[in-house]
Amino acid sequence: MQKKVIFAVSFFFIFSLGFAQSSATPSLQKQGTATQLIVNNRPFLILGGELGNSSASSVEDIEQIFPKLQRMGLNTVLVPAYWDLIEPVEGTFDFTLIDKTIHQARKNNLKVVFLWFGAWKNSMSCYAPLWFKKDYEKYPRAYTKAGKPLEIASSFSENVLQADNRAFSQLMKHIASIDKTERTVIMIQIENEIGMLENARDYSREANALFKADVSSVLIDCLVNNKETLHPWMLEKWGNHGFRTTGNWQEIFGDDIYTDEIFMAWSYSQYVEKLAKSARAIHNIPLFVNAAMNSRGRKPGEYPSAGPLAHLIDVWRCGAPNIDFLSPDLYDKGFTGWVAQYKLHNNPLFIPEARLGQGSGAQAFYVFGEHDAIGYCPFSIESGSDNPETPLVQAYAKLKELMPLLAKYQGKDMSKGLLFDQENKECILSFDDLTITTRHYFSLPWDPRATDGSVWPETGGLILRLDKDEYIIAGSGIVVEFKKNGEQKILEVKELGEDGFANAGGNTQKQTAWSGSTRAGIGTVDEIKINEDGSFSRIRRLSGDQTHQGRHVRIGVDEFSILHVKLYEYR
């Protein structure tokens, strides 16, 4: 008997009456080397946060959380869409939580990115409905090499795909029907941290048969046609076996667990592509997938093998061309190294999950300044503070002001990101004929926390070049010095005391004698507010002690500020 699709009764249609129509569906566009998210016909930077896994599983939680997110300064919230709660009975759909999420987002001036917790969440099938889990013969599991069934649905099962895709398609149809005018939902994530655990690949009967078969000609053609731009890891892996174009997986890529991972990535990407095509046909908004990192020296299967990782981007791009970008979930050390892996010529940077902490605001400034990021979203955002003095709240307030400028200059190589901690204290940049030395604020001796054994907080910001000798410097806990290329200091420079003058009898830094022609001087430094149209309003002029009498530009560690700096030359 064919089962009837029943939609939950929703107040939503009444609520949405009377709203002015938005003029365009959210989309992506290129500007220079950047990819920008376009919302309501304007570039939009996601100052976001992702809810904890269970925080949108009740109407009461959603109602309580969303006003706090507005107070925290977010413009976007990433929200799970749970398959088991949307389709608790096979063929019967309940979108109460989806409706409540969109209603609360509109009420609190937020945009929404839904995360489809479908067949897989962090590799496991924990958000699949119970009727799906119990019928393991119809919806089979992945198997380990030893033959153990896993709580992981098999990506090689057509029945699994059809059930997942049917529910996901109903979700997309519902969003399309209730969000035609407001465009509150701006992107969709398909599945969550997809990947195999325990082993690098599925060892089910179906998987084993395909592993022994020839590699798909579609994948081979992609590798051949894009050989000049392949990820270095993939180029080396394929090249180590002679760039073969015919044969099975081991014949083309070798006999190791990384070949198993490539094989599995091809299966996952093809599966996700089918959901992506369904979404495109129903409601064409940006789509992405996220990855748990291959960090801490782990091997495939110890981390979620075959997920949308940077070294597998060529497989994912070929297998799932309707996915717009791959995104990293970042919880490990080495933040700058991880984000650099995902800002590629064929992949814009969007961070759907990052560890929520004191350095989150600095990280947000860094990714927008350094990598033209689409957005930044700490995880379990609702557990953060909405106190206006909290670093992330301060950071998002300043980034909202900066959005018109950042959007204007994205992709034009006009900005640099800064991120410092106790181990990474300095970064030297170049613009035109300037050498710009940037440092952690605690490299100055004036704050007692710099020398009393305190752990230096993660600080950072961005530098945006507006014109020759005109810059925006924004962020927290940074010091910036400007020199003309080739400019040298006077012969001897002594270390400074807390009053800013040389310590008597202090260590002396030996320097080359003066040899420059002109020097860079700091003309004016203004703390500013940026208006919605991108114009500036001066809050105060910073001179004297605030710039160490014209020696540098700085922002303390306990504040986020935007500074407008004008330089000049003298000799």
In tens, the pLDDT along 43-61 reads 999 999 999 999 999 999 9
The larger pLDDT score, comparing residue 458 to residue 513, is at 458
Question: What is residue 487's predicted lDDT score, i.e. its pLDDT?
Answer: 76
Find the mean pLDDT for residues 8-24.
Answer: 40
pLDDT at 140 over 90: yes
Give 162-187 pLDDT, tens digit per residue: 999 999 999 999 999 999 999 999 99
- Is residue 198's pLDDT more than 90? yes
Query: What tokens were used for 341?
Result: 């892996």
Characterize the bridge pairing of strands 46-50 and 375-378: parallel
- pLDDT-derived band at 149 (thresholds 50, 70, 90) equals very high
pLDDT over 90 (residue 495): no
Residue 388 to residue 1: CA distance in whole angstroms: 57
Mean pLDDT, to the nearest integer, of 307-331?
Answer: 98
Amino acid in the structure at residue 491: L
pLDDT 10s digits, 77-108: 999 999 999 999 999 999 999 999 999 999 99
pLDDT number for residue 501: 63
Higher pLDDT, 514 or 358: 358
Q: Which two tokens stand for residue 375?
A: 């957005």
pLDDT band at 331 (very low <50, low <70, confident <90, very high): very high
Residue 112: strand, helix, or coil: strand
Residue 183, judged by CB atoms within 10 A of its CB (0-12, 13-18, 19+), counts as middle
pTM: 0.92
Q: Would you state the pLDDT for residue 498? A: 57
Per the CB < 8 A criterion, the answer to whether 69 and 107 are in contact is: no
Min mean pLDDT across 10-19, 295-304, 381-390, 465-474 is at 10-19
Locate 97 and state its tokens: 């939580």
Query: Per-residue confidence at 513, pLDDT binned at 50, 70, 90?
Result: low
pLDDT reported for residue 15: 33
- The fold of 12-211+258-408 is TIM Barrel (3.20.20)
Torsion angle of alpha carbons 46, 471, 390, 446, nearest 10°? 150
Cβ atoms within 10 Å, residue 188:
24
Number of Cβ within a 10 Å radius of residue 9:
11
pLDDT tops 70 at residue 255 = yes
Kindly report the CATH class assigned to 416-570.
Answer: mainly beta
> Quick one: pLDDT at residue 489?
54
How much is the average pLDDT of 332-337? 96
> Residues 547, 553, 558, 560: what is their CA dihedral angle, to the nearest 10 degrees?
130
Cα 340 to chain center, whole Å?
11
pLDDT (average), residues 407-435: 96
Q: Quick one: pLDDT at residue 446?
A: 87
Residue-level pLDDT at 147: 98
Q: Which whole-number Å values give the CA distances from 56 to 126, 249, 515, in the listed order?
A: 16, 42, 64
What is the average pLDDT value for the chain, to the nearest integer? 93
* pLDDT (average), residues 108-137: 98
The pLDDT, as a whole number, for residue 72 is 98
3-state secondary structure of 484: strand
Domain ranges of the chain: 12-211+258-408, 416-570
- Name the residue among 47, 17, 34 with its Cα closest to residue 344: 34
- pLDDT score at 486: 76
> How much of the chain, in percent, has pLDDT values that exceed 70?
91
501/494 Cα distance (integer angstroms): 9
Range in 221-235, 346-360, 480-494 the model is least confident about: 480-494
Looking at 283-359, list the stretches that DSSP marks H as alpha helix, in order from N- to C-terminal side.
313-319, 335-342
The pLDDT-based confidence of 17 (bands split at 50, 70, 90) is very low
Question: What pLDDT, on a 0 to 100 scale, did the predictor assign at position 511?
Answer: 57
Among 53-62, 465-474, 491-500, 518-527, which is the least confidently predicted range?
A: 491-500
Q: Which of 50-54, 265-269, 420-424, 543-547 has the lowest mean pLDDT?
A: 543-547
Predicted local distance difference test score (pLDDT) of residue 508: 59
Is the pLDDT score of 20 beyond 70? no
* Residue 503's pLDDT band (cuts 50, 70, 90): low
Lowest-confidence segment of 8-17, 219-228, 496-505 by average pLDDT:
8-17
